[in-house]
Structures are given as C-alpha cells and as structure tokens.
Amino acid sequence: MLFDADGTTIDAFKAIGRAFAEHNMDLGDLERFQKRHNIFKYLGGLKEFPLNLKQQIGKQRRKKLIATMTRIYRTEASLFPGMAELLKALIARSDVRVGLVTRNITNSPETTLSALLARHDIDLRELDHWAHVQLGQSKTDAFKAARERFGINPARAFVCGDESKDYSSAIAAGMHPLIASYGFESFERLTERHEVPVEVIAQSPEELIARLMHALDLPVPESARAEKHERGL
C-alpha cells in the first residue's frame, strides 16, 4: 500500500496557504486551486497572479519561501482526519507493506515529513518504504520499484494519490489506484479532463479510508463507515 503525501495524506493546501500568506501571497480558495493546471497551481488566479509571480521570481525569494514552507510543514501541518490512525493500523500489521512516495517540496523532505509524522506519534522509520521523487522523475518508476522491492503481486498492490498522474502512474506500474478528489485536483477535473473513472475516486479522507480498508478486507472505522453510508456506497 503506497501513499502519496501532499494532498492525499497531508492537508498540504492549508500548509502551503499559510506559507504563502507569510510572504504576502494568496493561493485563492481550494476549489479554484484544484482546477488550475500544474504549471499555474502556485501562481493563483487572475486576482492573485501578479503579486504571486513577483514573489516567486528570483532564487533568494524562492529560497525564503521554501524555508517558510519547511518550517510550517515541520511545526504546523497536519494529516487529514483519520490518516494517522490508518497509518498506525497498517504499520502494525505484519501482512501489509506500507510506503510513502512523495514530491514534497521542502528542504530535506525526509526530515520534514519525519517531523510532521512524529507530531502524530508516527515514526517514518516504521514505514516499510520511503521515496522522494524529484521533479521531472517518473512516479511510475518509483511505484514499480517499491512493488518489486518486496516482490508484491501486482494484483495485491495499491496506490493512494490525489492527481491524475498518480492514477496513470499506478496503472503503468501494474497497481490498483485509489484516487482522492479532496487534494490537488477536483472531482470534476479528474473525471472530465483526465477521464479518471468515478469508481476509483474518493471525495473525502473518510471515504478513501473506507475503500482502502475494504480492499484489504480489514475492519472499516465507524467514522469512515458512516461517511460511506451517507454517499450510498
């Protein structure tokens, strides 16, 4: 079971928004953020674009922004509801391999995510697999490497992500995708623009957790079970 970090497991939008605010920038609301193309994701809409662009031009400004994001991730950012309990439950099982694959953009991402998880009483070293994928590198290769490392049957391998690239990379790696639409891409963008099947999309952390636990034939938490019932799934 591989998890993407930002937008799937971690409430990254809030963390990035706080960092931007400290530099007099604005991401806009989550709905507009989710609709933007990746190139413009962090530049805002027409209203925010001029100031955001100005503040992100130049190595020193970008360096300061990343330093702020690093501090906020390490001291304030949090996991989505239920994710800490989910990770702890999976880590405790000897029959499940748990990994984190991320493009997290902070200084020393491993140190950053170690600090964030530690605040949720999770030790990153207890995960079976960890990988930081650089910009420009293939997530498909990272997913495949994790699966092959443990000799996992592709039929029993899953990826939880929140972007269309997570979906396509999981398929290309021979793994089952479980995609969240509460992160970096909206339900509409995932389905209408990228044709991600509705059947593999969860619209809340609770729904994703319920689907995941059902896929592993494990007990579904009551909170997730209630969310699943409300959506008629």
Tell me: do 17 and 55 sit in the same domain.
Answer: yes
Phi, psi dihedrals of residue 28, rounded to the nearest 5° = 80, -170
Tell me: do 214 and 113 sit in the same domain.
Answer: yes
Tell me: do 50 and 129 sit in the same domain.
Answer: no
- Which domain CATH number covers 160? 3.40.50.1000
Give 188's contacts (C-beta < 8 A, 6+ positions apart). 35
Q: How many domains does the chain have?
A: 2
Cα 200 from Cα 31, distance rounded (Å): 20
Domain end: 75, 93, 124, which one? 75
pLDDT of residue 25: 78
Cα 65 from Cα 68, distance rounded (Å): 5
pLDDT of residue 61: 76
Tell me: do 90 and 183 sit in the same domain.
Answer: yes
Q: How long, in residues, is the chain?
A: 233
Domain span at 33:
12-75
Nearest to 167 by CA among 209, 135, 199: 199
Domain end: 75, 99, 126, which one? 75
Tell me: do 17 and 6 sit in the same domain.
Answer: no
9 CB neighbour count, 10 Å cutoff: 27
Per-residue pLDDT of the chain (233 residues; tens, 9 = 90+): 999 999 999 999 999 889 888 888 777 778 877 876 664 445 444 455 445 555 555 567 788 888 999 999 999 999 999 999 999 999 999 999 999 999 998 999 999 999 999 999 999 999 999 999 988 888 999 999 999 999 999 999 999 999 999 999 999 999 999 999 999 999 999 999 999 999 999 999 999 999 999 999 998 766 555 555 454 45
Tell me: do 114 and 164 sit in the same domain.
Answer: yes
Tell me: do 147 and 117 sit in the same domain.
Answer: yes
Tell me: do 93 and 41 sit in the same domain.
Answer: no
Tell me: do 150 and 188 sit in the same domain.
Answer: yes
Tell me: do 40 and 90 sit in the same domain.
Answer: no
pLDDT of residue 50: 46
Phi, psi dihedrals of residue 162, rounded to the nearest 5° = -130, 15
Q: Which two tokens stand for residue 15?
A: 């963390």
Tell me: do 124 and 220 sit in the same domain.
Answer: yes
Domain end: 51, 75, 99, which one? 75
Tell me: do 184 and 125 sit in the same domain.
Answer: yes
Element (H, E) at 160: strand 158-161
